[in-house]
Structure 1
Amino acid sequence: MKLRATVAAVSGALALSALVVPAAQAAGGSATPSKSDILKIREAAQRASSGRTAFTASGATDAPYDMDVTFSNFKITGAVKVGTTNHVATTVTYTLTHGADVDITAADFLTGPYIYKGSYDAPDNMLFGDNPATCTATSSTTASCKGNIDVYPAEGELMNSDAGTWHGAALAIAYNGQDPTSSSFDITKVGYADQGGLGTTLVQRYSKLTVNASPEPVTKGKTITVTGKLSRANWEDNHYHGYTSQSVKLQFRKKSSSTYTTLKTIKSNSTGNLKTTTTATVDGYYRYSFAGTTTTPAVSAAGDFVDVK
């Protein structure tokens, strides 16, 4: 289940509801939970987090109880590069430590990683995995877990302002036989644990870069004009648009070489276009290369060969 947290009030609830469907199935529920079933857990989590640290349910009425589970050794790729339409899955590993009273082998015990933008207490957005993580016990109280963060840019999960640094977190839910699709569902019997600040990653707007060097062939000593465009994904309209006012290097490598040398650095214009000139010397390949930013990954165009006569 893919959910976007737009206000802090529902952040903890979204974390719970992200794993509701698998939980219902594991607990023996024959029907997929309805929206009202999910809202039941959301509202309880909202009440539980009101006036306290986000996701903390201690002391709340009709809310899940605090479960003795913590998380560590959270590992995620340094950058998640997201385009306009394709599903992106990023693997996360972490260690789950639990009390002796927590049965992580139970069919309705679930855990999973997620990442959030902004503060842990009031995240601007959150991204989860489609499925719970898989865990392997490494001792009587620890387990090694592996799960995914699944991103669907075409489904409106991201705004352009979401690009940049995100933080890692993980949660666990013990349904203890409770089926959220049942009229007898008792949320106070559900265990819940959540922990943020486990790591960081960049969620970036996928970039593209083109190049065209002309004329070809060209006489030695004559001028070569090199054009191109730097663009990046726009998560709000699912198209690529020019990345403006960015420093981009024009590079060249001789036909006999495997190494590119920077000839000059120029900036993309107001539409992301690039244009400059250089002098033809020997046969070789021209390309543009962009070093990247925190919001947009580095990219280099494939070299365009020019035959010098």
Structure 2
Amino acid sequence: MTGALALTGLAVPMAHADDKPNAWNAPRSGATTFAAGAPTISNVVTNGGKAIVVGTTAKKVVKVTYTVSDPDGVGYADVALWRGSNWDSPTAFLITDALEASCGTGTKVTCTSTFTIDPKLDLWNDQAGTWKVASYVADNNGAGVERTNVGSAVIQRASKVTVNAAPEPVTKNKTITITGSLTRGSWDTGKYVGYGSQSVKLQYLKKGTSAYTTVKTIKADSKGNLKTTVKATADGYYRYVFAGTSTTAGQTAVADYIDVR
């Protein structure tokens, strides 16, 4: 995992490990006690409140912002992302780049932590979905508190949708075939693979108008292929729209223009 290897000496990415890295198994930055109830953490927002969509190659930079309060002043803050039912042995774990948040000074501060997620190192397909946010915060006297679930984050596999309307040009009121494909990124293989049996909307925009209308909803076959037919009534654009699932982000195909004569 980004930043974790140098700290722990482990030879595997942290999101692929079963246990928390050493950086989160011990008090951080000089904090010596775990004082329940203080400091407090609130207003935790991950990636601006949007799902984190990760493809197969590009690294994804994610920011988590939160508010920390303590009457003795805030001395340290950090967060982590994790999955699983047991905090002591999570099924996946991601730590921040700097292992310490960027915070203001005072008794109530806004903090920002940054994660860099590398799909080639940090993620498996079965880790798509909802993650929890854990926090560790300490005051200026070294009293710290660790909380295992102060927020959530959704990490999704990226998807792609294509469309092609044929034949073209076409005689008015003749049948045209709209084909395409629905694929999603595989973090296991580093490639895009067919996303089968998913519902996809076929939408149409008549030339000279500004709003798409849904013509019909179809399902991809087992390999993610899309195919349906419609009657060509006027020049316009066709596109497939995939709404997304809990594990996979939605996507809209680049529309294909059909010339009706």
TM-score > 0.5 by shorter chain: yes
Match of 1:65 in 2: 33
User: Does 1:218 pair with 2:170?
Assistant: yes
Whole-angstrom distance in 1 between the partners of 2:246 and 2:80: 20
Does 2:126 match 1:161?
yes
Paired letter, 2:24:
A
Q: Which amino acid aligns with 1:135?
A: C
Provide the C-alpha distance between the structure 2 equivalents of 1:160 and 1:14, rounded to a whole number of angstroms: 25
Deviations 1:30-64 (A, max 9, x none): xxxxxxxxxxxxxxxxxxxxxxxxxxxxxxxxx95
C-alpha deviation, 1:117, in angstroms: 1.3
Find the structure with the greater CA-based Rg.
1
Total equivalences in the alignment: 244
CA contact (8 A) 1:213 1:304 kept: yes
Which residue of 20, 25, 28 corresponds with 1:11? 20
1:126 and 2:93 correspond:
yes
Gaps of 5+ in 1: 28-62, 105-109, 177-189
Contact 1:72 1:96 in 2 (8 A): yes
Question: Under a length normalisation based on structure 2, what TM-score does the superposition of the two structures give?
Answer: 0.84
Q: For 1:93 and 1:270, how far apart are their aligned partners in 2?
A: 40
Are residues 78 and 119 of structure 1, via their aligned partners in 2, closer, same or farther at CA, if it must alter by over 3 Å?
farther
4+ long deviations beyond 3 Å: 67-70, 190-193
**Which amino acid is the alignment partner of residue 4 of structure 1?**
A
- Checking the alignment, whether the CA contact within 8 Å between 2:74 and 2:138 is kept in structure 1 is no
Q: 1:306 to 1:111 in 2, by over 3 A?
A: same
Aligned-CA RMSD value: 2.7
Partner residue of 2:82?
116
Structure 1 length as normaliser, TM-score?
Answer: 0.71
**What is aligned with 1:182?**
none
Alignment partners' CA distance in 2, 1:273 and 1:202: 27
Show structure 2 runs of 5+ residues with no match: 5-13
Contact 1:209 1:229 in 2 (8 A): yes
Larger fraction in helix: 1
Query: What does residue range 10-49 of structure 1 map to in structure 2 within 5 Å?
Result: 10-11=19-20, 13-15=22-24
